[in-house]
Amino acid sequence: MTATEAMKVVIVGAGHAGGSIAALLRSQGFEGPIVLVGDEPVAPYQRPPLSKAWLKGEADRESLLLRPASFYADHGIDLRTGVRVVSISPADHTVTFADGAVETWDRLILATGSVSRRLAIPGTDRPDLIELRTLADAERLRSCLGAGRRLVIVGGGYVGLEAAASARALGAEVVVLERADRVLQRVASEPLSAFFTARHRAEGVDIRSGVDVAGFEDGGVRLGDGEFIAADAILVGIGALACDGLARAAGLACAPGGSGGILVDETARTSDPAIFAIGDVTVRPIPVHAARLRLESVPNALEQARQAACAITGKPRPAPEVPWFWSDQYDIKLQIAGLAQEGDRGIIRGDPATGHFAVFHLSGDRIVCVEAVNAPPEFMAGRQLIARRTPVAADRLADPAVTMKAVAAEP
């Protein structure tokens, strides 16, 4: 019997990270039992299309699945959907399900993701408010959209803006209410916010920033200044919190305060060496930036799935990656790599008016982040330059006549 044949892995959370690590373990030769438990009634699926192609009706349910539903049984993975884990015991090496059943494990992987954040204002628990986290949420939102319907979106982050673009494609009227003084404030630079605001307005979206939402009422949203905005449907997309309750209750090290995430190392191990955590639920080291953060992205979920799979199967630790993310709105493909920080110098390459440009963030003479709008060469080269920490000359970077290859070649 091999070492991994003797070992049993239980994965809690059958989302992008959980579904990916189950498949990776098998592809890396792990032979022991794998139990993959998820509380949604579906096999692991991709969430990004829920606000994009799927919402617009351009992708079917089948195409959302990470792998065909038959994959799990075919690969000896015991996928249990619609099943919720209510507690874990690091001491006894068990998980307990909502129906009281208990499962043992040798290695436990927490891949419980994140949950939508809620506003603490009157009406926030109204059943007619819509969130966009799961396929069920997306189905509900889509059923409310169509020509002449009015969607009010609270929150001008990526999910809100992607949903706005998709709703416009379906002919709905859209209002976006953002509390900060610009959309995407937490996640993108000012030139990007300005670009997306202008494009959404050109597409007919009523974007209002610096707006205080005071409460939800029958048929609409009440603003702090008393104005009432009528809505046929209200989507609240104001960010997400780590689903770290099981870990906290079990005494695993977590970020201070509630729902801040489970602390893991570069192999995705938690403070208990037999328990790993991957995906949105973690606060993880990012060696390329000497940072420790909670990230919510598919590339992050996949990178950590690889880290934990390698640690469990005894394979060498994968090289650290530069974090990256994408967003699709209308015909715009935004790709971001690296992490921007306070005090970085911003360099714009290309003209935002053309719809093709990139914002580079420099710390000294090194690129730490690139935000590329319909600009894949800038994204790819920028990501490599961040990883290699190559010094660049800002004036050459700003000049689209100098190719990215030539920028990279500079001493």
Work out whether 39 is an interface residue with ligand FAD (CB under 6 A): yes
Work out whether 47 is an interface residue with ligand FAD (CB under 6 A): yes
Q: Which residues share a beta bridge with 337?
A: 324, 370
Question: Within positions 225 to 254, which residues make up the interface with ligand FAD, using CB under 6 A?
Answer: 243, 246
Q: Which residues share a beta bridge with 97?
A: 85
Question: Within positions 303 to 332, which residues make up the interface with ligand FAD, using CB under 6 A?
Answer: 325-327
Work out whether 112 is an interface residue with ligand FAD (CB under 6 A): yes
Classify 169 as helix, strand or coil.
Answer: helix
Work out whether 48 is an interface residue with ligand FAD (CB under 6 A): yes
CA distance 212 to 18: 37
Single residue of 38, 157, 160, 323 touching ligand FAD by CB under 6 A: 38
Cβ 323 vs Cβ 353: under 8 Å: no
Single residue of 85, 165, 175, 235 touching ligand FAD by CB under 6 A: 85
Q: Which stretch binds ligand FAD (CB under 6 A): 33-41, 64-72, 194-202, 263-271?
A: 33-41
Work out whether 75 is an interface residue with ligand FAD (CB under 6 A): no
Nearer to ligand FAD, 155 or 350 (CB): 155
Name the one residue in this structure whose structure tokens are 């990526």.
158
Q: What are the Cα distances from residue 190, in Å, to 202, 203, 253, 348, 355?
A: 18, 20, 35, 11, 15
Q: Which stretch binds ligand FAD (CB under 6 A): 32-40, 167-175, 253-261, 286-294?
A: 32-40
Question: Within positions 280 to 299, which residues make up the interface with ligand FAD, using CB under 6 A?
Answer: 280-281, 296-299
From the CB of 113, what's the least distance to ligand FAD, in Å? 3
Number of residues that bind ligand FAD (CB under 6 A): 36
CA distance 195 to 330: 13
CA distance 239 to 23: 29
With the C-alpha atoms ordered 258, 245, 298, 94, is the resulting torsion angle positive or negative? positive
Q: Which stretch binds ligand FAD (CB under 6 A): 46-54, 141-149, 180-188, 190-198?
A: 46-54
Nearest to 339 by CA among 380, 383, 307: 383
Work out whether 389 is an interface residue with ligand FAD (CB under 6 A): no
CA distance 286 to 41: 33
Cβ 71 vs Cβ 181: under 8 Å: no
CA-angle at 369, arms to 365 and 373, nearest 5°: 120
Work out whether 187 is an interface residue with ligand FAD (CB under 6 A): no
Under the rule (CB under 6 A), what is the footprint of ligand FAD? 12-18, 37-40, 47-48, 50-51, 84-85, 111-113, 132-133, 159, 243, 246, 279-281, 296-299, 301, 325-327
